[in-house]
Amino acid sequence: MHNTKIFAVLKFVGCVAVFTAILLVLDLLLYPCTYVRNDVHALASGQNDVVVLGTSNSRMGIDPDTLLKGTGLKGHNLANGGEYLCDSYYMLKLAVEENRPSTVILDVDPGYLVTEKEKGNNYLLFYHEFPFSAAKLSYLAAIMPESDFRALLFPSYEYPLKSMLPRIPSNVRVKLSGDYSADQFSTANMLYHADGFIERYPVAEENFPGWNPVLFEKDKVKEDNISYLNKIVRLCDENNIRLVATTLPQPDRSLVSFPENYEAAWDYLSDYMKRNGVEYYNFNREYYSSFSHDVSCFVDYDGHMNGDSAEKFSALLRDMLFEKKS
């Protein structure tokens, strides 16, 4: 009887081990290598004095190499499309654990204040790349209630085999070799830089994609988003980190399309930053005249800059925020 129970336990443990091994192999084969994988590696492998957080506008608008040229500082752009303030907070928390930055630049997109983080493979995109750490455990506790436990435990769950088959050789090679090179993300439309910056090639206005903006309305601001903004402010204050909030330039043609919504957003953000003692640079109102809003500076009406404009903007931001070292 005793031997039968031991055999049953060993059989159960063996089944669990085999099942887990299969899922780990599937994750190796199917889970894609993303920008976030490189971002987290950059956080954990070296000192970053300055980190950029936010959405794709700042990913394509702020180049750390240009921003920090001549300052003696190092930095990385951790911004990403679909990066909500929840994600930014835990990225910052990990950055503080690994190598505390001296400055954080947080670009706040008003559309991300009035919407909730979408379910799907982007929901856990940032969490899955975190190394085991206090930041990851607290991130897990925060997102667990809203997560599909299958995707939470097994990253490859939301990536269909059929669509991922062509990428299997590349996934395996990159992961097993520890490849974090920048060139794997470059395409015919953009150049990915090692500092996290995405350089978009110019696009004629007639080739801009369709535009359906998320408009700001004060009564639609999500409490959870503001809660994480509060946490970012608090974490920076507690760790003596300089927090600089920005709102990057938008094309004039976008600004004049919904002036009331944009003005309401600028009022809300200006009031919040002032009340919380945060440096705030809004390049669509207070600092409007410091940078061009001509449509030729962008690749769409959402405000994603082309590479030439991003370089000029990053140099402007450097002159505003940092002093060069001789």
| Domain harbouring 236, CATH code | 3.40.50.1110
Residue 177 placed within a domain = no
Highest mean pLDDT among 38-42, 206-210, 211-215, 235-239 belongs to 235-239
Residue 95 placed within a domain = yes
Counting the structural domains of the chain, the total is 1
Residue 172 placed within a domain = no
For residues 116 and 227, give the distance between their C-alpha atoms in angstroms, rounded to a whole number. Answer: 13
| 3-class secondary-structure state, position 254 | helix
Buried-state track 85-124, b at ≥16 Cβ within 10 A, e below 16: bbbbbbbbbbbbebbebebbbbbbbbebbbeebeeebbbb
For range 290-309, the mean pLDDT: 96
Residue 245 placed within a domain = yes
Q: What angle do CA 326, 74, 180 make, to 5 degrees?
A: 145
Predicted pLDDT at 305: 97
Q: Do residues 229 and 108 lie in contact, with contact meaning Cβ atoms separated by under 8 Å?
A: yes
Q: What contacts 146, CB < 8 A, 6 or more positions away?
A: 119, 123
Residue 297 placed within a domain = yes
pLDDT tens for residues 50-90?
Answer: 999 999 999 999 999 999 999 999 999 999 988 999 999 99
Q: Residue 1 above 60 pLDDT?
A: no
Residue 16 placed within a domain = no
Predicted pLDDT at 203: 94
Residue 299 placed within a domain = yes
Q: Residue 235 above 50 pLDDT?
A: yes
For residues 106 and 326, give the distance between their C-alpha atoms in angstroms, rounded to a whole number. Answer: 27
Which pTM value belongs to this model?
A: 0.91
Residue 171 placed within a domain = no
For residues 243 and 247, give the distance between their C-alpha atoms in angstroms, rounded to a whole number. Answer: 13
Domain span at residue 310 reads: 35-146+182-321
For residues 128 and 276, give the distance between their C-alpha atoms in angstroms, rounded to a whole number. Answer: 32
Q: How confident is the model at residue 326 (pLDDT cuts 50, 70, 90)?
A: very low
Q: Residue 277 above 90 pLDDT?
A: yes
For residues 307 and 65, give the distance between their C-alpha atoms in angstroms, rounded to a whole number. Answer: 13
Mean pLDDT of the chain: 89
